[in-house]
C-alpha cells in the first residue's frame, strides 16, 4: 500500500507493506465502532482500527503484516491453535461469513482475552480479495451468583441452551481430550467450581484423566490430581464406584467418604474432597452405546449452596451427550489406529546396501483419516543393483492404502521379472496393469535403479511419473532437483513414451525422495514449497541422515497441510 500512517493511527497500513488485495482508503475501518482488522487472502493483516489496537493491547506496527491466526489466536491455555482446526481461517479461505463465540486471543502483554468474532468477505481495494475480522468481548457464562455465594437455579431456557451448546460443542470434535475440556468449560463455573472426569480404559482400568478448577476467573487444570485410579469394586455402594458400574447419578459430599474406606477408589475420593475443598458434588455415569465409559463429578467449593436431587436430571442429560461424543471419538481413534498400523505394516523394511546409509519416514495425516496412498520401497535386483521407489496413490482412505499395496506389489513383480530393464520400461508395464487390473484411480511415482560402478561411485537411473522431483544435496550444501525424465502420472490411459535419466551421485551426497505432503500447502505454490525444502536441506547437509530427515519434517512440512508424508533418503559413502 502507498498510504503511510504513524503506528497506532487509524486503519492505514505501515510503510512498505503491500497487500496483494489492494489498498484501503484512509480511515475505512475507523468508520466501524467495533474492533476490526482487514486481512488479505493469505491471512496477513493489512489494516487495523484504533478499537482493535486498544482491545488487543498492540500498536498497528505490531499487527500489520503479521499472520492474523499465528499472532493472535490461542486456546484457553495460551497454546497456538492448529491451523487445520481454526474456523476463522476456514472462513477466510472459503469466502464464507462465519461467527464464533468466546475464543481466546493473545494481547500484546502476553495475557489472554476471550472474544467473540465475525469473519466476512471483504475487498480492501478494487479487484482485491480478503476478509474483515471483527472482534468483541464475549459474554461470560452467567454463574447467577446471588449474595452470599449462592447460585440461583437455572431457568428452563438456561437448561435448554446449555444442552444445545453441549451438543454442538461435543459433536464437532473427534478428539477425546478436546471433548472433555469443552464439557468442563461448559459446566465450570456455570454449574460448579470443579469438574472431574474418570474414564475406563479398554482393559477396564480407571484413569482420572481431567480435573478442572475455576480459580481467579479462569479454568485451571490440576495435573496433581490426575492419574491412574484403583480398580472398580464390584459391590461398593460408594457414589463413584456405582457410577463407574453404570448406576444412576447421585449426590456426594465429604461426609460420604469420611468413614473407613471400602476400596482404593474411596481412598482417592477422600483425597479429592480434601484437596479441592468441595462440600457438595454430583456424580453421574458417562454411558456409551454399549458400555460405561466413565463418570463425571461436578463439585462446589466456593459456592455455599449444595447440589440437590433436582440437579441430577440436568447432569444426566449432559453425561448422556458426553457418552455419545466419547463413543464416537473412541471409535474414530480406534479406526485411525488400525488404519495407521495397517499402513505401517504395508511399508517395507529397508535393505542394507554396502557403504550406503538409508532411512525412511512415514508420517500420517494429522486430521484426515490417518491413512493414505503414500508409500516407499527399496529392494535388491542383483549384486550391487537396487531399486528405489516412492509414490502416491490418489486418496486418503483405506481404498488408497489398498491401492498403494497393489501398485507396490506389482512394481516389485515387474522389476524382478526384468532386472536389467530400464526404469521407464518397468513403469510403462506397471501403468498398463494399473489401467486394467488394479483398483487405483491415478498415482504418481518415481522408480530408480541404484548401481555401484567399478569406480566405486553410485549411479542413479530413474524415471518420474508425475511425482515431485528427487533432491540431491552435496556434502558442502549444494542442491539440485533431478527434474529430468519427467513423464505423465499413472492411470491416465494416455500412451506416451517414458524417459529415463542418469546421474552420478557424488561422495557423501544425500538423495531425498519424498511425497507431496512435504512441500504442498493450500496457501502457497508448489514452487514455494520446493524452494523451502531445498534451502532447509542445504542447511542440514552435514547432519546425520536420521537427524536430516527428522529436522526436514519438523521445519519444512507445512503446518496447514493435512496430507500424509513418505520419505526415503540415502547417503553415499566418502571416497
Q: What percent of the chain has pLDDT over 70?
A: 85
pLDDT digits (tens, 9 = 90+) for 476-532: 999 999 999 999 999 888 888 999 999 999 999 999 999 998 998 877 888 999 999
Q: Indicate if 330 and 351 belong to the same structural domain.
A: no
End of a domain among 110, 137, 164? 137
Q: Indicate if 272 and 195 belong to the same structural domain.
A: yes
Average pLDDT on 107-117 reads: 83
Mean pLDDT of the chain: 83
Q: Indicate if 451 and 527 belong to the same structural domain.
A: yes
Most confident of 96-110, 120-134, 466-480: 466-480
Average pLDDT on 134-148 reads: 57
The pLDDT, as a whole number, for residue 332 is: 75
Q: Indicate if 249 and 323 belong to the same structural domain.
A: yes
Return the closest-CA partner of residue 180 out of 163, 161, 198, 206.
Answer: 198
- Residue range of the domain that includes 176: 153-334
CB–CB of 482/468 below 8 Å?
no
The pLDDT, as a whole number, for residue 17 is: 41
Most confident of 109-113, 219-223, 328-332, 509-513: 509-513
In angstroms, the first-to-last Cα distance of the chain is: 55
More confident call, 19 vs 305:
305
Q: How far is CA 38 from CA 49, 64, 85, in A?
A: 9, 9, 21
Contacts of 77 (CB under 8 A, 6+ apart): 221
Q: Is residue 197 part of a domain?
A: yes
How far is residue 503's CA from residue 485's CA, in Å, rounded to a whole number?
Answer: 11
Average pLDDT on 440-468 reads: 93
Q: Is residue 12 part of a domain?
A: no
**Cα angle value 182/187/188 (rounded, 5°):** 95
Strand partners, 108: none
Average pLDDT on 407-430 reads: 92
H helix intervals, 84-230: 87-94, 156-171, 176-187
End of a domain among 334, 357, 375? 334
pLDDT digits (tens, 9 = 90+) for 142-176: 444 444 455 556 777 777 878 888 888 887 788 88
Q: Is residue 375 part of a domain?
A: yes
Burial of 309 per CB tally in 10 Å (0-12, 13-18, 19+): exposed
Q: Indicate if 404 and 317 belong to the same structural domain.
A: no
Q: Indicate if 79 and 190 belong to the same structural domain.
A: no
CATH number, domain at 205?
A: 3.30.450.40
Q: Is residue 23 part of a domain?
A: no
End of a domain among 304, 334, 364? 334
Q: How many domains does the chain have?
A: 3
Backbone angles phi, psi at 135, to 5 degrees: -115, 140
Q: What percent of the chain has pLDDT over 90?
A: 37
pLDDT at 22 over 50: no
Q: Is residue 508 part of a domain?
A: yes
The pLDDT, as a whole number, for residue 367 is: 52
Owner of C-alpha cell 487444570: 221
pLDDT at 393 over 80: yes
pLDDT band at 25 (very low <50, low <70, confident <90, very high): very low
The pLDDT, as a whole number, for residue 157 is: 74
CATH number, domain at 38?
A: 3.30.450.20
- Three-state SS string over 254-274 comes to HHHHCCCCCCHHHHHHHHHHH
**Cα angle value 366/561/392 (rounded, 5°):** 85
Q: Is residue 104 part of a domain?
A: yes
Which pTM was predicted?
A: 0.51
pLDDT at 128 over 60: yes
Return the closest-CA partner of residue 194 out of 64, 286, 101, 282.
Answer: 282
Identify the DSSP state of 353.
-
Cα torsion 392, 396, 399, 403 to 10°: value is 0
The pLDDT, as a whole number, for residue 240 is: 93
CB–CB of 193/300 below 8 Å?
yes
C-alpha cell read off for 259: 468413614
CB–CB of 279/248 below 8 Å?
no
Q: Indicate if 97 and 39 belong to the same structural domain.
A: yes
Q: Indicate if 403 and 513 belong to the same structural domain.
A: yes
Q: Indicate if 404 and 279 belong to the same structural domain.
A: no
How far is residue 200's CA from residue 295's CA, in Å, rounded to a whole number?
Answer: 9
pLDDT digits (tens, 9 = 90+) for 299-309: 999 888 899 99
Question: How far is Cα of residue 312 from the mean position of the Cα atoms in its chain?
Answer: 36
Q: Is residue 329 part of a domain?
A: yes
Q: Indicate if 270 and 404 belong to the same structural domain.
A: no
The pLDDT, as a whole number, for residue 399 is: 67
Contacts of 492 (CB under 8 A, 6+ apart): 442
Q: Is the peptide bond before 189 cis (omega within 30 degrees of 0)?
A: yes
Considering only 117-121, 193-197, 447-451, which range has the smallest mean pLDDT?
117-121
Q: Indicate if 286 and 209 belong to the same structural domain.
A: yes
Return the closest-CA partner of residue 519 out of 558, 471, 472.
Answer: 558
Average pLDDT on 187-208 reads: 90
- Three-state SS string over 172-202 comes to CCCCHHHHHHHHHHHHCCCCCCEEEEEEECC
More confident call, 151 vs 218:
218
pLDDT at 200 over 60: yes
Q: Is residue 181 part of a domain?
A: yes
Cα torsion 442, 444, 447, 448 to 10°: value is 170
Contacts of 473 (CB under 8 A, 6+ apart): 479, 509, 510, 511, 512, 537, 538, 541
Return the closest-CA partner of residue 200 out of 326, 315, 70.
Answer: 326
pLDDT at 445 over 90: yes
pLDDT at 333 over 50: yes
Positive/negative CA dihedral, 395, 396, 399, 400: positive
The pLDDT, as a whole number, for residue 340 is: 64
- Count of CB atoms within 10 A of residue 532's CB? 18
CATH number, domain at 389?
A: 3.60.40.10
pLDDT band at 384 (very low <50, low <70, confident <90, very high): confident
Q: How far is CA 555 from CA 360, 370, 444, 482, 547, in A?
A: 17, 21, 25, 22, 12
* CA-atom Rg of the chain in angstroms: 30
pLDDT at 15 over 50: no
Q: Indicate if 125 and 86 belong to the same structural domain.
A: yes
The pLDDT, as a whole number, for residue 371 is: 58
Amino acid at each position: 500500500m502507498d498510504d503511510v500512517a504513524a503506528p497506532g493511527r487509524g486503519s492505514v497500513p505501515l510503510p512498505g507493506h503491500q497487500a496483494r488485495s489492494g489498498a484501503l482508503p484512509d480511515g475505512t475501518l475507523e468508520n466501524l465502532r467495533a474492533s476490526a482488522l482487514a486481512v488479505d487472502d493469505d491471512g496477513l493483516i493489512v489494516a487495523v482500527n484504533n478499537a482493535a489496537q486498544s482491545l488487543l493491547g498492540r500498536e498497528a506496527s505490531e499487527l500489520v503484516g503479521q499472520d492474523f491466526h499465528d499472532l493472535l489466536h490461542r486456546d484457553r491455555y495460551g497454546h497456538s491453535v492448529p491451523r487445520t482446526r481454526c474456523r476463522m481461517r476456514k472462513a477466510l479461505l472459503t469466502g464464507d461469513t462465519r461467527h464464533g463465540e468466546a475464543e481466546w486471543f493473545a494481547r500484546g502483554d502476553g495475557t489472554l482475552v476471550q472474544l467473540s468474532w465475525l469473519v466476512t468477505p471483504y475487498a480492501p481495494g478494487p479487484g482485491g480479495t480478503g476478509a474483515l475480522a471483527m472482534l468483541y468481548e464475549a459474554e461470560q457464562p452467567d454463574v447467577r451468583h446471588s449474595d452470599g455465594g449462592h447460585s440461583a437455579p437455572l431457568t428452563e431456557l438456561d437448561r435448554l441452551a446449555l444442552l444445545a451448546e453441549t451438543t454442538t460443542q461435543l459433536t464437532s470434535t473427534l478428539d477425546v481430550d478436546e471433548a472433555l475440556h469443552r464439557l468442563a468449560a461448559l459446566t465450570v463455573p456455570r454449574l460448579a467450581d470443579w469438574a472431574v472426569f474418570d474414564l475406563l480404559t479398554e482393559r477396564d482400568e480407571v484413569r482420572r484423566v481431567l480435573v478442572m478448577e475455576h480459580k481467579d476467573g479462569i479454568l485451571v487444570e490440576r495435573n496433581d490430581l490426575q492419574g491412574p485410579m484403583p480398580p472398580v469394586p464390584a459391590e461398593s455402594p460408594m457414589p463413584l464406584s456405582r457410577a463407574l458400574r453404570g448406576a444412576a447419578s447421585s449426590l456426594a459430599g465429604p461426609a460420604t467418604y469420611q468413614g473407613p474406606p471400602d476400596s482404593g477408589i474411596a481412598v482417592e475420593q477422600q483425597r479429592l474432597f480434601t484437596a479441592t475443598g468441595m462440600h457438595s458434588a454430583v456424580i453421574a455415569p458417562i454411558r456409551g452405546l454399549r458400555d460405561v465409559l466413565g463418570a463425571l463429578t461436578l463439585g462446589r467449593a466456593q459456592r455455599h449452596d449444595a447440589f440437590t436431587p433436582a440437579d441430577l436430571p440436568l447432569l444426566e442429560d449432559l453425561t448422556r451427550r458426553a457418552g455419545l461424543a466419547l463413543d464416537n471419538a473412541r471409535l474414530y481413534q480406534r479406526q485411525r489406529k488400525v488404519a495407521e498400523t495397517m499402513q505401517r505394516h504395508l511399508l517395507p523394511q529397508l535393505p542394507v546396501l554396502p557403504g550406503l546409509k538409508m532411512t525412511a519416514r512415514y508420517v500420517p495425516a494429522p486430521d484426515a483419516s490417518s491413512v493414505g496412498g503414500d508409500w516407499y520401497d527399496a529392494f535388491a535386483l542383483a549384486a550391487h543393483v537396487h531399486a528405489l521407489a516412492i509414490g502416491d496413490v490418489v486418496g486418503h482412505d483405506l481404498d488408497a492404502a489398498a491401492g498403494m499395496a497393489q501398485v507396490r506389489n506389482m512394481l516389485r513383480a515387474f522389476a524382478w521379472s526384468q532386472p536389467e530393464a530400464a526404469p521407464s520400461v518397468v513403469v510403462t508395464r506397471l501403468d498398463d496393469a494399473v489401467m486394467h487390473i488394479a483398483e487405483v484411480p491415478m498415482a504418481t511415482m518415481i522408480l530408480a535403479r541404484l548401481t555401484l560402478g567399478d569406480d566405486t561411485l553410485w549411479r542413479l537411473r530413474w524415471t518420474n511419473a508425475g511425482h515431485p522431483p528427487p533432491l540431491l544435496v552435496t556434502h558442502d550444501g549444494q542442491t539440485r532437483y533431478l527434474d529430468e525424465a519427467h513423464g505423465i502420472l499413472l492411470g491416465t490411459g494416455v500412451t506416451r513414451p517414458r524417459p529415463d535419466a542418469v546421474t552420478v551421485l557424488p561422495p557423501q551426497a544425500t538423495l531425498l525422495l519424498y511425497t507431496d505432503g512435504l512441500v504442498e500447502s493450500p496457501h502457497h505454490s508448489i514452487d514455494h514449497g520446493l524452494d523451502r525444502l531445498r534451502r532447509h536441506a542445504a542447511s542440514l547437509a552435514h547432519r546425520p541422515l536420521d537427524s536430516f530427515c527428522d529436522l526436514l519434517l519438523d521445519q519444512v512440512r507445512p503446518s496447514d497441510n493435512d496430507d500424509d508424508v513418505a520419505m526415503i533418503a540415502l547417503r553415499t559413502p566418502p571416497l
